[in-house]
Homo-oligomer: A and B are copies of this chain.
Amino acid sequence: MFTFHLKKSAGPAGPRLGEMQTAHGVVETPVFMPVATYGSVKTLTAEEVGELGASIILSNVYHLYLRPGVELIGGLGGLHRFMNWPGPILTDSGGYQVFSLAPFRTLSDEGVLFRSHLNGDQHFLTPEKVVELQETLGVDIMMCLDECPPFPAPEKDVRRAMDLTHRWAQRSLAAWRRGGQALFAIVQGGMIPEWRREQAQALAELDFPGYALGGLSVGEDKDTTLAMVEATTRELPEGKPRYLMGIGTPEDLVEGVARGIDLFDCVLPTRNARNGMAFTDTGRVIIKNAAHARDPGPLSPDCGCHTCRHYSRAYLRHLFMSREILAYRLLTFHNLYYYFHLMARMRQALADGRFAEFRRDFYAKRTEGGILSG
């Protein structure tokens, strides 16, 4: 079972409020999905991820396929049970990972032959196999295998990736057993708005339960990313959820929502936490800066997260300088809380019909607090 209900919308490429119903629960959109690459949101238990405010998480079929193996997880009752996460899960198809991580790959119409980045073993994945793997994992939202072209790339390569992605989407649809799981198609098209529109229209005709925007934030500038988002969302069916893959910063989330995106995922809040960076409304805090050494205040004075309620910047800096694992956890708590809270504030603003005002305030605060950046 999978349904999407649009509660409020400002047009095909405008901000919207929705509700996604999956076999493992309801997701209020727009929503941010934390990344559990190997079946754990790095440093956290699934229980903590839920307490922080996640309603859906993302995992990677590419990584789980290589380690510990999808069949192993299936034999233990599926990914939800394996990682003790009772809520919805979306898995990425591995398309992006094969093209960004595998040290060697050969593409054919049939599928992609590649070597594992872990041990060099050779593997062959097809669109049908990738659907099957995700069905075995028992996830709520599956992604079609796609080809993600590099950036920059010759136009003919972008075109070929689009066409292959389309044929693979058709094959994925045919392989999909239409159980309780949804299948999303991925729109490619490089940085050419006409091609983004063209692929969006073509995939829309296939009537998938949802659509993703792939191949973005791969090196292009922000204006280009947002132009591609706008070109795509404008052509997608309004009643289907839209997922902007692998993006982004707090600013990206605000701009994505403004252009009609419903789902986001990104490693930024978790990875940057482990690198000592905290997101706040007024800017970014680099915890190793000497200025924090004796600071008894929290990362962010208005934040209600566990870290801000209990720990000072001085303690966080000390832990980080001492390479204590607790530093990574406490910053992860904060950053994910900040992301979930940001999405909740956007949903509230959308519900109250004051999203434009929210967006203005969001940028105003950041400018005022620029001193905290860096």
Contacts from A to B (Cβ < 8 Å): 38-40, 42-45, 47, 67-68, 72, 75-77, 82-84, 293-294, 296, 306, 310-312, 314-315, 317-319, 321-322, 324-326, 328-330
Known A82-B314, A312-B82; judge A42-B324 contact (CB<8 A): yes
In the bound complex, what is the Cα–Cα distance between A306 and B84 (angstroms)?
12
User: Would B72 and A310 count as touching, CB distance under 8 A?
Assistant: no
Q: When the two chains form their complex, are residues B40 and A319 in contact, meaning their CB atoms are under 8 A apart?
A: yes
Knowing A67-B321, A294-B72, A318-B39, the reply to whether A310 touches B47 (Cβ < 8 A) is: yes
> A325–B322 contact, CB under 8 A?
no
* Cα A325 to Cα B330 with chains together (Å): 13
| 25 sample A-B contacts, Cβ–Cβ < 8 Å, listed by A number | A38-B319, A39-B315, A42-B324, A42-B326, A43-B326, A43-B329, A45-B326, A45-B329, A45-B330, A67-B318, A67-B321, A67-B322, A68-B293, A68-B318, A68-B321, A72-B293, A75-B294, A76-B314, A77-B296, A82-B312, A82-B314, A82-B315, A325-B325, A325-B328, A329-B329
Cα distance A67–B321 when bound, in Å? 9
A297 to chain B, nearest CB (A): 11
- Cα distance, A293 to B82, chains bound together (Å): 12
Residues of B contacting A325 in the complex (Cβ-Cβ under 8 angstroms): 42-43, 325, 328-329
CA A294 to CA B47, docked complex, whole Å: 22
Contacts of A42 in B (CB 8 A): 324-326
With A72-B293, A76-B296, A296-B76 given, is the CB distance from A38 to B324 under 8 Å?
yes
Q: Which residue of B lies closest to A319 (CB)?
A: B40
By a CB distance below 8 angstroms, the chain B residues around A318 are: 38-39, 67-68, 82
- 8 nearest CB pairs, A to B: A68-B318, A40-B326, A38-B322, A43-B325, A84-B310, A40-B324, A76-B296, A82-B315
Complex Cα distance A311/B45, Å? 10
CB distance from A104 to the nearest CB of B (A): 22
How far, in whole Å, are A82 and B38 apart by their CA atoms in the complex?
A: 34
Instruction: Point out the residues of chain B lying under 8 angstroms from A72, CB to CB.
Output: 293-294, 314
Q: How far is the CB of A49 from chain B (nearest CB, A)?
A: 10
Q: How far is the CA of A84 from the CA of B326 in the complex (A)?
A: 13
Q: Which residues of B contact A82 (CB under 8 A)?
A: 312, 314-315, 318
CB neighbours (8 Å) of A314 from chain B are 68, 72, 76, 82
Question: What's the least CB distance linking A148 to chain B, in Å?
Answer: 24
State A157–B306 Cα separation when bound (angstroms): 51
Q: How far is the CB of A270 from chain B (nearest CB, A)?
A: 11
